[in-house]
Amino acid sequence: MTITRIPVRGESPYEVVVGADVLTEVAAAVGCPARALVVCADRVSAAATGLLRHLLAAGIATEQYILPGTEADKAVETLARLWDVLASFEVSRTDCVVAVGGGSTTDLVGFAAATWLRGVRVVHVPTTLLGMVDAAVGGKTGINTAAGKNLVGAFHPPVGVVCDLTFLASLPDPDYTAGLAEVAKAGFIADPEILDLLEADPRAHVRELIERAVRVKAEVVGADLREGGRREILNYGHTLGHAIERLQHYRWRHGDAVAVGMVFAAALGRLGGHLDRPTADRHRTLLRRLGLPTSYDARAWPALHAAMRLDKKSRGGRLRFIVLDGLGTPGVLDDPPTELLESAYAEVSAG
């Protein structure tokens, strides 16, 4: 299988490599004679032994540290333990950290790399669909707190991302399905061809879907790393989605929560006069077809509304939502009235 290289431009350019059996690409990203600390999610630790062999063969000294690889890892206590590991391995600014796992692993390890010695190099090897199309690309890192999801973090672009598609063969179906939400998001905000492929057969087109979704994100973050403008569009569905994750104590998969959030954003856009009904309805139809949730408990609205006010896109207490003005045409709805929010959520809670 050929290798696809997708450039991410901007102040710290790097490549996203997509293909099967491409772990040999990690050594090139790490560089030699650097040392590498490989921080690996437990689920893929056995499969990652091949990566360790490739690094050693390239003359790169390695150590391995295994994490549970769950959303619960994204806590200050786990971050502190990881700092201790970096200290024990004596990681210096000429060394590199390699994160192998899903989005929670790359988020946490990326933040550890961003804060250790005020920033050391990191290579991401995402092993889930969501990690490949979203979490590992773009340089956002962070942990969760009691106040909300990813409220503590840093922008720290990796020096490379290697998406080895062979990891997907062992990915549990619920995790694969959850990852499709972020793929669909890329279709709704920028590349409608993605939606056509999802409606046809997502399993048959998985590589093209990944590459298209990565290209969408690469174009956006290359132009706006620190979310000063256009990068906001990548948060489509995330304002309500993050609030749901918080209420669920992060037991819901990120993609599942974002799917509900996109249905809400579509309803908000339609009721606010931005989006036509067929495109809004397409959200629910497609996401249901993919096996994703599209509704949430009506009784949760007060708690969700309060949680959304801590969203990173809020400005001076004013809620901001990414909505669609049309398929592939995102915009911002600033400080919508409470009545509009309640009407949109009523459509979500109605199922």
- By annotation, the residues acting in catalysis are 118, 140, 182, 217, 227, 231, 235, 238, 242, 254
Taking alpha carbons only, the member of 43, 45, 50 closest to residue 25 is 50
Q: Which segments of the chain does DSSP mark as H helices, in order?
A: 24-30, 49-57, 76-88, 103-115, 129-130, 173-189, 193-200, 206-223, 238-247, 254-271, 277-289, 301-308, 338-349
CA distances 50 to 29, 38, 123, 262, Å, are 16, 12, 16, 38
74: helix, strand or coil: coil
CA distances 81 to 30, 87, 150, 192, 196, Å, are 23, 10, 18, 43, 44
φ, ψ of residue 148 to 5 degrees: the values are 165, 180
18: helix, strand or coil: strand
Residue 118 structure tokens: 């005020």
